[in-house]
Structure 1
Amino acid sequence: MTTTYDLPTHPLPAAASPAGSALVAGSAPAASSSPAGERLLTGQFGRLLVMVFGSGLSMYLLTSVVPLYLAANGSGGVGAGLSTAAMMFSAVAVEVLVPRMLARWGYRVVLGLGLVLLGAPSLVLLTSAALPLVLAVCIVRGAGLAILVVGAVALVADLTPSTRRGEALGVYGVAVGVPAVIGLPLGVYLINVIGFGALFILAAIASLAGLLALVGLPANVNAEEEQHVKVLGGVRRSGLLTPTLIFAAVTVAAGISVTFLPLAVASDKQSLIATALLLQAIAAPIARWLAGRYADRVGPAKLLAPALILAAVGAGSLVFLPSAVAILIGSTCFGIGFGAAQNLTLTLMYNRVDRSRYGQVSALWNLAYDGGWGAGALIFGAVVGGVGFSVAFALTAAVVAVAVVPALRASAA
């Protein structure tokens, strides 16, 4: 995942998503008195980007591989769904704790902890493929993921001038998106090249190497004052509930696609799946950036329904498995729709509240990301055994298609 894996933006002390997908071009930058010409790419910001890239690569290398590892050792679809769900639900639980951890221990200690929790448990997978052990590893890695995404986003706000905050978030978004482009297809491809064991070691190294990048980063938090609101407080009255649920519908499908697409085709077609995951991973950040660019001109609500339709078409095309055309076109369409929906829902939510509730928006959006990602994988794993992959993917497309209705209402409002 954790999802939106597009994992994903917000001011402190907000929760964040798997892969930092919340960092999108359309997010509303904060007002500031910083000079517009102030330098953006400082040494500290560069080190942060290096750390983010390595930790993201560690996550995405194993996102589709752990389900395959379980399936290869007899745990089947239910085990695959549980592995993704365990990681995402763990991230959801820990995300709300990270701002307090940052305030108490500072950036370097907390980010270091996140890197260790994300990377080191991968080595435990070398010892056994037993389902309870793998799920425990996924839970610990989910905690590390939550720490890294929340902490890194917080640090972006501290390291960059507020007058260039939107640009900084865009650069950060690239650092988060590129590991998905590389890691999702590469992980599946490398299974048959270097094997599961070497891949687990590579994932551990990618995360733990980020400890070197922490040297020179700020130790203490220096966050702007922000009114703290309960995550669920006033959600319906503020207009945040609908976009939250819309985005959750899309992330359900995202968690399903990266977890089960590799399991839905014959093992001799894994290169096709690697290509499909690559196309999806490339399409998502490009669509996210373009959606943010045009949403500033016409408004995010007008673009949301078309994005969801594309995502539904992409998910629905998997009904025609094992057609290579259906897999490739479907993955690309879903990547475009998912990437655009990430930006549009978040921007719409920010536009509906004042700055004092930006933290609430971020928490809601990221809970929808991680929770939807995990729930989708868990439910699909339970359903697919009884109805088969084609019917299960059709049901997935239907979930996304239902979300088009409130999206159309939002565009007409």
Structure 2
Amino acid sequence: MVLRLVTIVGASASFFLLLSVVPLYAEESGGGSGAAGLSTSALMLATVCGELAAPRLTARYGYRLVLASGLVLLGAPSLLLTVSHSMGTVVAVCLARGAGFALTVVGGGALTAVLIPPERRGEGLALVGVMSGAQSVVALPLGVWLAQHTGFTAVFVIAAVLPLATVPAVAGLPRREPAAQKPLGMVDGFRTPALALPAAVFATTALGAGIIATFLPLAVPAGRAGLVSAALFLQAVTAIGARWVAGRYGDRHGPAGLVVPGLLLCAGGMLATAPTGSAAAVLVGMALFGTGFGIAQNATQTLMYARVPPSGYGVASALWNFAYDAGMGLGAVFFGLLSAGTSYFTAFAATGALMTAALVPAWYDHRLSQPPAATPETPSDAKDRPTDPCP
């Protein structure tokens, strides 16, 4: 597990170091804001496509090869940016890094589920979430700071070295165990309600996360950059803490009961954030949303792993990560269209209200998780049943 955490730190730190730096580099290299958007779009497109393809690769080649390949694709292409400023190179690097990140989160996620005992799965996944979340809190602003003070080349080299340096740790991880049955495919995952329903609920909360990351800096009145930074930091920290608490609680009482509270807290956070001119409203809203998002992350992921055999861990990991990335992307697009025709207040309030529609799949999923009711015995059945000779 320690070796797996080493690979998580290398992959997450590299990914978040360049998440804002590459668009900045593309813009300053003469491409303008369109180039910045194109670089991010290429990264996310390759990530989503890679997540859909990763389960088949994992089933065929095993966890270690897929994870190691992802680390190499995430790191090595970054070095190309030190020698070329062309937009074609930037897009190619983003496509390669997106595919590499997809392989690390899907192949690595399935491997993580194998390493954690089922009775401590929630806590183990929470630990993984804390490690990766900490990288986003630290590496995202650090990458921009380094680019401004040391130059882009230093950031690109660091982002390449971090995942490549963790590749040897993969050798100490277990191979994929032979599956006792045919592995699930992605189509099977989308068709299986036990996986698709919690993924749909989580995608709804991720929709809010994409909106906050993209539009909160624009919605808060100009001149209050300190409030935006504090709110985003508060959201990230509360999400990490809630993910840890939800994991420990879920191991003791079951994760199914946490899905709806997590969803409602996310919706409440969006509603509370609507009056973006109020610092108190923004901070309270981000604390609520962060708490709900952390709960939803752990509860849905733990549920999905618990509902498949080990041969289905790859699909569960891919479907959960697909819900994460697709939800964030769709959230930004939806909110942009909505806010353009109304106002940020109306858009935040309407989004919070619309998020409650995910209570429908959450309710169906809750029904799936309930054991069937026992058929009451008739007196004759009780009389005919042999008694247990042991006290």
Q: What's the TM-score, normalizing by structure 1?
A: 0.71
Alignment correspondent of 1:315: 270
Question: 1:208-236 CA deviation, whole Å, 9 max, x = no partner?
Answer: 3324544x435854454343233333856
Q: Percent identity?
A: 47
One-letter amino acid of the counterpart of residue 52, structure 1: I
- Name the CA shift for 1:237/1:156 in 2 (closer, same or farther; >3 Å): closer
Alignment correspondent of 2:385: none
Distance 2:86 2:348 in 1: 27
Q: Return the match for 2:139 from 178, 183, 189.
A: 183
- Which 5+ residue runs of structure 2 have no aligned equivalent? 371-391
- Which 5+ residue runs of structure 1 have no aligned equivalent? 1-44
Q: Return the match for 1:373 from 328, 331, 334.
A: 328
- 1:181 is displaced (CA, Å) by 2.9
Matches within 5 A, 1:45-124: 45-66=1-22, 75-76=32-33, 83-102=39-58, 109-124=65-80
Q: Return the match for 2:290 from 320, 335, 339.
A: 335
| Bigger mean CA offset, 282-291 vs 344-353 | 344-353
Q: Return the match for 2:232 from 245, 270, 277.
A: 277
Distance 1:247 1:82 in 2: 26
Of structures 1 and 2, the larger Rg is shown by: 2
Alignment correspondent of 1:241: 196
- 1:372 is displaced (CA, Å) by 1.6
- Name the CA shift for 1:140/1:331 in 2 (closer, same or farther; >3 Å): farther
| Bigger mean CA offset, 381-390 vs 371-380 | 381-390
- 1:394 is displaced (CA, Å) by 4.1
Alignment correspondent of 1:25: none
Does the 8 Å CA contact 1:321/1:327 hold for their aligned counterparts? yes
- 1:311 is displaced (CA, Å) by 1.0
| Bigger mean CA offset, 51-60 vs 193-202 | 193-202
The count of aligned residue pairs is: 366
Does the 8 Å CA contact 1:58/1:207 hold for their aligned counterparts? yes
- 1:252 is displaced (CA, Å) by 1.6
Distance 2:56 2:360 in 1: 38
- Name the CA shift for 1:326/1:194 in 2 (closer, same or farther; >3 Å): farther
Distance 1:144 1:356 in 2: 22
Distance 1:310 1:408 in 2: 16
Matches within 5 A, 1:216-295: 216-218=171-173, 220-233=175-188, 238-262=193-217, 264=219, 269-295=224-250
Which one has a larger percent helix, Structure 1 or Structure 2? 2
- 1:350 is displaced (CA, Å) by 5.0
- Name the CA shift for 1:170/1:113 in 2 (closer, same or farther; >3 Å): same
- Name the CA shift for 1:303/1:103 in 2 (closer, same or farther; >3 Å): closer
Question: 1:273-308 CA deviation, whole Å, 9 max, x = no partner?
Answer: 343332222221221222233344554443322211
Question: 1:45-75 CA deviation, whole Å, 9 max, x = no partner?
Answer: 4333222102111112333455566677775
Distance 1:411 1:109 in 2: 37
- Name the CA shift for 1:192/1:389 in 2 (closer, same or farther; >3 Å): farther
Distance 2:268 2:123 in 1: 32
- What secondary structure is seen at the aligned counterpart in 1 of 2:186? coil
Distance 1:166 1:410 in 2: 18
Alignment correspondent of 2:161: 205
Distance 1:239 1:106 in 2: 25
Does the 8 Å CA contact 1:120/1:204 hold for their aligned counterparts? yes
- Larger RCO of the pair (alpha carbons < 8 Å, separation 6+): 1
- What secondary structure is seen at the aligned counterpart in 1 of 2:294? helix
One-letter amino acid of the counterpart of residue 292, structure 1: G
Does the 8 Å CA contact 2:122/2:298 hold for their aligned counterparts? no
Alignment correspondent of 2:380: none
Distance 2:222 2:150 in 1: 16
- 1:195 is displaced (CA, Å) by 5.8
Q: What's the TM-score, normalizing by structure 2?
A: 0.74
Does the 8 Å CA contact 1:249/1:399 hold for their aligned counterparts? no
Distance 1:355 1:301 in 2: 20
- What secondary structure is seen at the aligned counterpart in 2 of 1:403? helix
Does the 8 Å CA contact 1:189/1:271 hold for their aligned counterparts? no
- 1:309 is displaced (CA, Å) by 2.0
Q: Return the match for 1:143 from 77, 92, 99.
A: 99
Does the 8 Å CA contact 2:239/2:294 hold for their aligned counterparts? yes
Alignment correspondent of 2:258: 303
Distance 2:81 2:346 in 1: 32
